[in-house]
Amino acid sequence: MNAAIRAVVRQADALGHETWGIRHGYQGLLDKDWAPMPTRACANILQRGGTVLHTARCPEFLLPNRRAEAAENLRAEGIQGLVVIGGDGSFRAAEALQREHGVPCAGIPGTIDNDLPGTERTLGFDTALNTAVEAIDRIRDTASSHGRLFLVEVMGRSSGMLAVHTALACGAEAVLYPESPDDSYETLVARLYANWLRGKRSSIVVVAEGDGLGSAVAVGDRLRRDHGLDLRVVVLGHIQRGGSPSALDRIWGSRWGAEAVRRLDAGESGFYLGEVAGALALLPLAQVLDPHPSPPGDLSELVGILSR
């Protein structure tokens, strides 16, 4: 996100515009928690994780009267366009703000879930994926040495994108995620048993935190109860959300931040940016209301094939 913030500020400066940083997201719009953000304020933030503007949940923004208040705050301050970096909730709020009050909005996709419609990439996904894979590579050493089953929980409350890609990249034996078929537990047990018969004595199973079977802890408890398996559970948690961003996240954050400003400067609004087949994509902000994408089915199938 800091790469996108940096690009927004410096592209706006290059076009002769002043940028204001709004702290704590939509709560900052309501509280007028903002200040001018000159280009030098973005020095040495490219390599930092998180966001220098901070963020916060704002349930109040679901109320029409509070959105009207935010729009009036922007107008009173003379702010003529809003760049929103975030995921589904952030974009839905931006779509409502523009539709209801005419506030020009541009969206930059930022969520490690990588589950926004129309784009194959969101900021944070590549960094979180690499962080999870690096952690599981270390866990694999212990699993192999001790001949043990590990269930590793990654983030993904309603999307299995991170779980499936992590499982494929780290050579996991199986993956469980919210969009898994109803018989995923039985399939997991059968796969673990088949692996045992083939002589495999250690396994890694990646579990999304929002898997329909429950958390990795719940799945582990069930496997112990049903089959008496000796296993360990590792919950990676918020370690996936921090750390220095990957090169790809820095590059796309920079591209999207600059492009958002250029388009707002040209009079465009009501859009969010993305990536499709390696190219920068422009999507209508209302598309965030469409169904969210599921992980490609062939990837989860490939996890099982390649882990034999």
Based on the residue annotation, tell me whether 113 is a catalytic residue of this protein.
yes
Distance CA 15, CA 150 (A): 53
- Please state, in angstroms and as integers, the Cα–Cα distance from residue 266 to each residue in 17, 62, 63, 271, following that order: 12, 30, 31, 13
Q: Please give the backbone phi and psi of residue 283, each rounded to the nearest 5 degrees, phi first.
A: -130, 145
Q: Which of 88, 113, 211, 249 is catalytic?
A: 113
The one-letter code for the residue type at 156 is G
- The residues that are catalytic are 113
